[in-house]
Amino acid sequence: MMSSPTPGASSGPSDAHRPLRRLTARARHEAHRVTSSLELFFDLCFVVAVAQAGVQLVHAVAEGHAGEGILNYAMVFFAIWWAWMNFTWFASAYDNDDVLYRIVTLVQISGALVLAAGVSRAFDNHDFLAVWLGYAIMRVALSAQWLRAARASRPPERTMALRYAGGVLVCQVGWLGLVLLPEHGRPWLFLAMALLEMCVPMYAERKHMSAWHPHHISERYGLFTIIVLGETVAAATVAVKSGIDENDALGEVLPIAAGGLLIVFSAWWIYFVVPVHGRLRSSRQAFVWGYGHYLVFAAAAAIGAGLEVAVEQAVGKAHISTLAAAAAVTLPTALYLLTVWLLHARHFKVGIAEQLVLPSAALLVICCTFLGDWAVLVAGIVLALTVAAGVALTARRLRPAGRTAAPAG
């Protein structure tokens, strides 16, 4: 059931300029709905936390503690991603851009920065207090937004908003176990709480769907993908520069830099080659697509961490094998390809050849792991050829019958 704006949501030009306005739902198919400057600022600040998680993942993998590092990375990244995602869908439905809305959003940003400050302690000392505190700030602020929306709405929308507010607060109490429980129990608590968190939206929207905007949501996810890939480029660039300046190892890091650049460029191309918002027609599709992006974002950020690990191994600073360093790049790259294909790319492919391009590329990238020092470069070439193959197959399918396509360029 689609919701519509609450009557009285727009009371005329004068209401639009009041410092405080009722937090009512926006139209689900509002024209010209675009990302606001506050949302962009929100994303950029959240990427600070993503960067910190990536840095700690690099340290863990480079020191030979990949299993522990990946587990901590998955836990911390979930907190970052889930808080970002919940705000994104809420803002798509309720952003009225008044003073109180802006202040509460800035409080959420503050929570993200507190969480980012605690990432290193979570990895090094297994101390999740700062991470929990930052997450609590973000979640309590979001709950306050939902309570405000509930106050301005009528049943069944009010019931949905109250369920969101209550569910967020209950889950936040459960996350306190990361601080209080012994270390061996925390992974199981994380798994249980992550599942519980993901059940809250499905429970809240069981009888009434929030008024999120399909095009706006797809734009928000696309922009965050770009920002995460940009962070990947930045992290890899710093690692390459360090390898050249401190170790005079241009020959060792150049293949990694070239391959990494091809991987990131191809990752961008593959994500944006299809009109994503076309898949967001129902609540069920939105849940699968939205939740699946945990793997897209986490894998994209992990590619940058993997490139840093590969550079450190190439210059002799990492205590791992060449195989392990290559896997730090190829495995998240393959995960990214498969997840993007599963979430939306496969729905726009026609024929067996087009459908098999991305899964085949993911398999080839994994095989590149065993190529030693050339693994990253060859993986980058594989992805570049994957993009070229996708373009060629699409062009052939769209070519008018009985006509020869004009030369490209």
Return the domain boundaries, the chain: 34-211, 215-398
Question: Is 215-398 assigned to CATH 3.30.450?
Answer: no
Any residues with CB less than 8 A from the CB of 328 and at least 6 apart, and which?
Answer: 61, 66, 302, 305, 306, 309, 310
Place of tokens 């300046």: 245
Q: What is the pLDDT, as a whole number, of residue 248?
A: 74
Any residues with CB less than 8 A from the CB of 403 and at least 6 apart, and which?
Answer: none
Are 193 and 171 spatial neighbours (Cβ–Cβ below 8 Å)? yes
Of 262, 310, 249, 400, the closest CA to residue 61 belongs to 310
User: How is residue 353 written in tokens?
Assistant: 């050849």
Q: What is the pLDDT, as a whole number, of residue 146?
A: 97
Q: What is the pLDDT, as a whole number, of residue 409?
A: 37
Mapped to the 3 state alphabet, what secondary structure does 49-97 carry? HHHHHHHHHHHHHHCCCHHHHHHHHHHHHHHHHHHHHHHHHHHHHHCCC
Regions of the chain short of the pLDDT cut 70 = 1-17, 277-279, 281-283, 400-409
User: How is residue 90 written in tokens?
Assistant: 């809420």
Q: What is the pLDDT, as a whole number, of residue 278?
A: 65
> What does the DSSP 8-state code read for residue 21?
-
| pTM of the predicted structure, to 2 decimals | 0.89
Q: What is the pLDDT, as a whole number, of residue 6?
A: 38
Alpha-carbon gap, residue 104 to 90, rounded angstroms: 13
